[in-house]
Chains A and B, each alone.
Chain A
């Protein structure tokens, strides 16, 4: 069974992930409940979505531009990013852009092909919520966040790169 990790814990989850139908047409919108909708649906039915009772989330595919929702982030209780396959790395950049450039502070969820071996990197790019792929092991997945005890780069979690933490300089000042 697929399961969700949120804030480094296995979490109960009521979100319904709506996907376009096989022919690409917009999915039907359930009358109530919490839904994560594709970007196209948000663009097309914004008013209807805002009028619903349940909570609202949106998801971006790897080729979609987070700039498109930059002005709407306050409307969402959750933003998700789809990783279409094991090697699809576009979502890492999208995660960072949402956090660092567009200032998104809410729940940021990785969906799609999300397996244990990605988690450390995804967390570094600002994801704090993960819809794990079917068949993943919960305990092994939770352990993945500790694969490395430090990282050289600036990450969303540790905004200063290792060299600044080492030298104690925080401002860039150049």
Chain B
């Protein structure tokens, strides 16, 4: 956890006062709807179909137990007793009252939290790998760099009114778990031939209406120049990004229009003026920020635990969970545990105030009082002793947080959709529930193996459907809710965008189509190790398409025949 210093705290407190005054002026009729909109959004407040929605930043997904308790308190006091973890490592509340938002923000400030820049046309919450600091393949602690960027981005005077929102992801490990290729700017830590640290810089990736994989505009940016180089990128975007059409305003459109090569040259010539200027980073600052992070005081432990082995041998359900929800830690004797918020019948990412309190307690007892929120909308306890795993599993199980489905089909990533979001074409939560129900046989699920299923309620793609191995998108078909299914998407080092399978289907048909896809996959994989996505890559989408639609057309033909003979 990064611990604020006096200046960090003061700025957040001042933000609360500023927003309180803006709310007051709005309620007094001194600020128009439109102008207040621009101001409330950058404090996380949306006005949705049913009520306002408040989005609270969880910077780079890191959360302390006392902060989670505060969120539980807010859920109880100002909302309806629960919250929702979004795919952007934020927490959303769906029923706060506009008049009380300044009070909520003031409460948050007491635990070093806020809603700053969680929405609006500005630099948003920086996201990263949820296994930062514990993964074995890590080059750098990405949290430190995310914090450097958080400070740079907060109230940036030049870049507070960008053409559109701007999302930055940092990946500090070899494997890309931060999805750097689908962000406005992706920063991937690398070492050069001399072992110096730097970043590979990608721009112009993104999902939404125009999904694009980002382009590398610099293979190696020495770390000292991170901020000046970002200033250069943002300045080119701020000046030349389109502002006439909201759907063409993201940086990806500018990069595409100019070509990545030309865009890169423009950035380089802008950077030539800024390089080595006062915003050039210094080692003292990196050290200062590093030192403000709390560090887990690991015990010296053996790499294995005999009791754990016994429990694993004795208890199949525990073994399943261990297989799916526990990953290796770089420190011997520890593991990182994912608590699943994807129980069948519960909207993905939803968490009640009671669960928040209980998770906070688990974090205190088992993981140094800290936890992480993943973009897959689960919670991670990153520093659990191997000897504690069985006890933790039992408690998590009792709380409904031990669904052993991480990396599996039922670990669905899903936006709030039509139940909550005013932009939605279709509901997403009941569809996720129907799929989870269809695949509730664990043996079958494990046989299917690793599979990402992502769903969005409209083409804004908050559920990242383009990069799901299977993606589901809510579409509007003459006023009815339909679903377009795509396959072959993926995120990570080999990121790709899914391809649409065929005509969209009704809500009732979705689980059946997924089942058909899985059926086909199981019948055609050459080995268990060939994942669904691997098969799609090997044979293309056509055979899947034929299997799904061929059979569907057949069914329709059968029905017609029956009707004709009736």
Contacts and interface: CB of A to CB of B under 8 A. Distances in A.
- On whether the two chains bind one another, the answer is yes
Interface of A: 86-90, 92-94, 96, 101, 115, 117, 120-125, 137, 140, 147-155, 159-164, 166-167, 169-170, 172, 174
Given A92-B159, A163-B282, A167-B285, 8 more contacts: A86-B38, A87-B161, A89-B161, A121-B158, A152-B151, A154-B279, A169-B282, A174-B224
B160 interface: yes
B331 interface: no
A89 B162 contact: yes
Contact of B155 (A87, A92, A151): A151
B557 interface: no
> Most chain-B CB neighbours within 10 Å: which of A96, A151, A155?
A151
Interface of B: 7, 10-11, 14-15, 18, 22, 25, 30, 34-35, 38-39, 121, 151-152, 154-163, 224, 227, 235, 238-239, 243, 273, 276-282, 284-285, 288
Contacts of A149: 10-11, 14
B273 A101 contact: yes
Contacts of B280: 172, 174
Contact of A148 (B155, B227, B277, B279): B155
A87 B120 CA distance: 10
> Most chain-B CB neighbours within 10 Å: which of A92, A94, A162, A170?
A92
Contacts of A164: 278, 282
B155 A90 contact: no
Contacts, number: 113
A152 B158 contact: no
B278 A161 contact: yes
Nearest to B243: A88
Contacts of A115: 35
B165 to A, nearest CB: 12
A150 B39 CA distance: 20
Given A117-B39, A167-B285, A167-B288, A125 B155 contact: no
A155 B282 contact: no
B282 A90 contact: no
Contacts of A90: 238-239, 243
Nearest to A155: B157
6 contacts: A88-B243, A89-B158, A93-B238, A117-B22, A148-B155, A172-B277
A39 to B, nearest CB: 15
Nearest to B273: A101
B112 to A, nearest CB: 16
B121 A163 contact: no
Nearest to A96: B158
A149 to B, nearest CB: 6
Contact of A150 (B10, B121, B163, B239): B10
A113 B493 CA distance: 44
B135 to A, nearest CB: 28
Contacts of B235: 93
A154 B121 contact: no
Contacts of A160: 278
A49 B281 CA distance: 45
B160 A121 contact: yes
> Most chain-A CB neighbours within 10 Å: which of B227, B239, B277?
B239
